[in-house]
Amino acid sequence: MLDWTREGGLTAAAHRPADPARRLAAELAEAVAELLTGPRVGEVRECEAHDCVLLFLPAHPRRRWCVASVCGNRARVARYYARHKGASDQPA
């Protein structure tokens, strides 16, 4: 359960045992509340891929994509093709 404190913060109270689906939902809600009230909330970033809508908490300060092997790879491939576009059109 989420609750506002007098100082204007958010706290998460423990939940009771329930079926697996409800427990999972409660644990996810608790994790979100913990993230939103924790010291790292300012570090949450948007993925820099143009077609991605995900947010992530970077493990490294220079991280730019939510998943480097997916979004990062697409961005790198797009940059490669943009650099080499027309290179094959020029006579050798």
* Three-state SS sequence of the chain: CEEECCCCCEEECCCCCCCHHHHHHHHHHHHHHHHHHCCCHHHCEECCCCCCCCEECCCCCCCCCCCHHHHHHHHHHHHHHHHHCCCCCCCC
pLDDT of 89 above 70: no
Per the DSSP assignment, residues forming a β-bridge with 45 are 56
pLDDT of 73 above 60: yes
Provide the residue type at 40 as one letter: R
- 90 confidence band (pLDDT: 50, 70, 90): low
Map out the domains of the chain as residue ranges: 1-38, 43-92
For residue 75, give the nearest of 51, 44, 54, 53 by alpha carbon.
51
Q: pLDDT per residue over 11-58, tens digit each?
A: 776 666 778 898 899 889 988 888 888 888 888 899 998 889 998 989
Say what the pLDDT of residue 41 is.
84
pLDDT of 87 above 70: no
C-alpha dist (Å) from residue 18 to 15, 21, 24, 34, 89: 9, 8, 9, 21, 64
